[in-house]
Amino acid sequence: MSTIELTNINKEFGSGLSRVKVLNDVNFKANKGELVLVLGPSGSGKSTFLTITGGLQTPTSGNVELSDKNIETIAKKDMENLRLKKIGFVLQAYNLVPYLTVKEQFTLVDKVKKDGNLTNDQLMELLKKLEIDEIINKYPAELSGGQNQRVAIARALYADPEIILADEPTASLDTGRVDEVGELLQSLAKAQNKAVVVVTHDLRLENYADRIYEIMDGHMTEKID
């Protein structure tokens, strides 16, 4: 079985004349050890797809399975625990706490998830790889967009999740940084056997992907070379 499997997913918002169909019969699979891209322009349904995959919102119809569990059958508390321990989110908005320093962002994770996180040495290695180890005492408002993006990536990886879901993780990065993040996500998938799903319009990430899906107007197809 796939680590992530979406079957015939539909998502609608509104009702009557204002009803909008955002996802249309979407089918998707991702396995541990894979970096899977979902490519599409703004408004194509990428972010909705990602939040449904991570259990942050429910589809209008269809099934979502994570690690062989249908999330509709999981109790709310168990779903929250699954997201906490198994899923790492990298969202466009960064979601960093503005009044906490970079270092304190990780301390906050320790308070919420008390075990299974990276060791201090592993964290420092990750921060050095992302070249943010020298800004750990700064606040988000003091950082550039690219630095905030890399801190958000590090924070998601700090919890050592089995599944990584990233929404435009390279949006604020130049090409050199894109290559670093692409290599990092590819390494996490291969060396640490994680399922990594990235939704993006950034074609520079294609070289790092094992498989690529394309989404347009809510319709998803797998790209076959």
Residue 1 has pLDDT above 70, yes or no: no
How far is the C-alpha of 98 from the C-alpha of 8, rounded, in Å?
39
Q: Which CATH superfamily does the domain covering 33-60+75-223 fall into?
A: P-loop containing nucleotide triphosphate hydrolases (3.40.50.300)
Of the candidates 59, 26, 21, 69, the one whose C-alpha atom is nearest the C-alpha of residue 43 is: 21
Q: Which residues of 24-57 are buried (b: 16+ CB within 10 A; e: fewer)?
A: bebebbbbbbbbbbbbbeeebbbbbbbbbbbbee
How far is the C-alpha of 122 from the C-alpha of 114, rounded, in Å?
16
Domain residue spans of the chain: 33-60+75-223
Provide the pLDDT for residue 139.
Answer: 96
* pLDDT mean across residues, the chain: 91
Provide the pLDDT for residue 72.
Answer: 85
How far is the C-alpha of 92 from the C-alpha of 46, rounded, in Å?
12
Output phi, psi for 84, to 5 deg: -65, -45
Q: Does pTM top 0.85 for this prediction? A: yes
Please, which residues have CB within 8 angstroms of residue 130's CB and are 6 or more apart in sequence?
A: 150, 153, 154, 180, 181, 184
How does pLDDT run across 154-196, given as a tens digit for each residue? 999 999 999 999 999 888 788 888 898 899 899 889 988 999 9
Provide the pLDDT for residue 92.
Answer: 73
**pLDDT exceeding 70 applies to what percent of the chain?**
99
Residue 61 neighbours by CB distance under 10 Å: 12
Residue 85 has pLDDT above 70, yes or no: yes
Least confident of 6-10, 22-26, 85-89, 218-222: 85-89
